[in-house]
Structure 1
């Protein structure tokens, strides 16, 4: 009889612990998650082949949409732009490189641009984790280069970046609407 009572107490204790575990787990599982970002984050890298793990450069940025607006209204000429949406874009060079003919060390930099007629100023800045360009400080610039701007045939609804292999290096190509900007990059071997 005592053995039966002990067994019954073990079962009650086990059941109580199980109920408590489920109750506390419910609080952990019932977390609130934010909805989809209106300007989703994206990444471009070179080489872009996912089978190649030895990357030379990678850029992480958010992709704003035009939604009937003009590029010039969202990225005004002559003003520092975060080069995307939300946080300032960040570019990581995994090896030394030259960008627009200017040498830079391997590392991660914030990427800002100043749109202009026929050319954009491309800025690498040492301050990371910046929201937009609100706290941008030109005293923290590592390099500023001019990049050729042109018009594309197709209009891109979402701001986009990609790397295009060219003789002697790559171009970081940025596009939005019909605007295209090509930033020449070569890598130090």
Structure 2
């Protein structure tokens, strides 16, 4: 490859820098303009790629202006004994900047900014390199000892692409695939968050230590997420903050029922029951909300406790919808189908106006109860 033009341009830039002269913002020549693309991953992570984008301009790319494998570039540290890969762009290093630890094609790579290099091959997979050196001109000073990661990636045929481009061609909840596309080749590279749960927990912790922490609703939401991913200790801590934190905490159905659910998920059934016994008496504990709590108890195998809750709901809310339905479920759960049938028929009489869903279901449940079948 003829590097003379670029080499002397590089020397000119070095001379200007050495002399301390300010550079003018002259119009770009249109050859290999700097480009930048960024993609968020999993809501908290991101990968940003900065590169110079050359055009094909009718030239043979792979095996032509981009030689296969590792090569002696005849300048800097690039020699026969220390051959260099392709800079995967033009001019200065192409760089990848990861906000969080990631996996590249399943291989771990810590968060940080890396120089990006590729060694194409005429057949088979290409070597992709993430280097700790990220501020060099091209790959003239490439050193294998500074590799942070090497992986092998299979290229794919693609429709012709004039300009070298990095494009995110697949975006999943915790991963993305970026493709280097140029000429008639596409090199897809899968990037995943190494630990999405850790990343989200760190993000939530940082936010709750900031303005978002002045809201019991945010502590409640964070507690729910932490519980859903098995971070029970932190979930309980945040649930307590939603209730008791100075100037922020509020004791209501939302905060207390969240804590009750978290305690249950953590295997603390007795503590959960105590919290929920208080929660159902607090503002926001609607007949519908208490009904759903009763159904959760049945699903957890706590049938007697569920019936107790359904009775409380019926008495407190004067038989309003869906408290009769709840009693029918409760009695059915403990095997008292006669009482269950009684309340199921009452539930049919007070279906809310405009509800076209529950009527047919109640009719089916009535037939089940007549036959001595559980409706839950």
Q: Give distance in 2, aligned partners of 1:128 and 1:179.
A: 25
Correspondences of 1:35-50 after superposition (within 5 Å) = 35-37=27-29, 38-47=31-40
For 1:67, the equivalent position in structure 2 comes to 57
Report the CA distance between 1:118 and its aligned residue: 3.3
Structure with a larger share of its residues in strand: 1
Does residue 173 (structure 1) correspond to residue 166 (structure 2)? The answer is no
For 1:141, the equivalent position in structure 2 comes to 147
Question: Scaled by the length of structure 1, what TM-score is found?
Answer: 0.76
- Contact persistence 1:119–1:181 (CA under 8 A): no
For structure 1, the residue ranges without an aligned partner over 5 or more in a row are 1-30
Report the CA distance between 1:120 and its aligned residue: 1.4
**CA distance 1:98–1:55, change in 2 (3 Å):** closer
1:85 is aligned, of 59, 82, 90, to: 90
Residue deviations 1:21-60, cap 9 Å, x none?
xxxxxxxxxx843330420011121139xxx8x5511110
Report the CA distance between 1:166 and its aligned residue: 4.7
- Contact persistence 2:45–2:193 (CA under 8 A): no
Q: Give distance in 1, aligned partners of 2:38 and 2:166.
A: 9
1 or 2 for the larger relative contact order (CA 8 Å, sep ≥6)? 1
Residue deviations 1:99-150, cap 9 Å, x none?
0211011100000010112321110000121101111001100000011101
- Contact persistence 1:45–1:162 (CA under 8 A): no
Which secondary structure state, in structure 1, belongs to the residue aligned with residue 187 of structure 2?
strand
- Contact persistence 2:126–2:154 (CA under 8 A): yes
- Contact persistence 2:48–2:96 (CA under 8 A): yes
Q: Give distance in 1, aligned partners of 2:134 and 2:157.
A: 31
1:34 is aligned, of 2, 26, 34, to: 26
- Contact persistence 1:46–1:58 (CA under 8 A): yes
Correspondences of 1:6-17 after superposition (within 5 Å) = none
Does residue 97 (structure 1) correspond to residue 85 (structure 2)? The answer is no
Which secondary structure state, in structure 1, belongs to the residue aligned with residue 170 of structure 2?
strand
Q: How many residues align?
A: 154
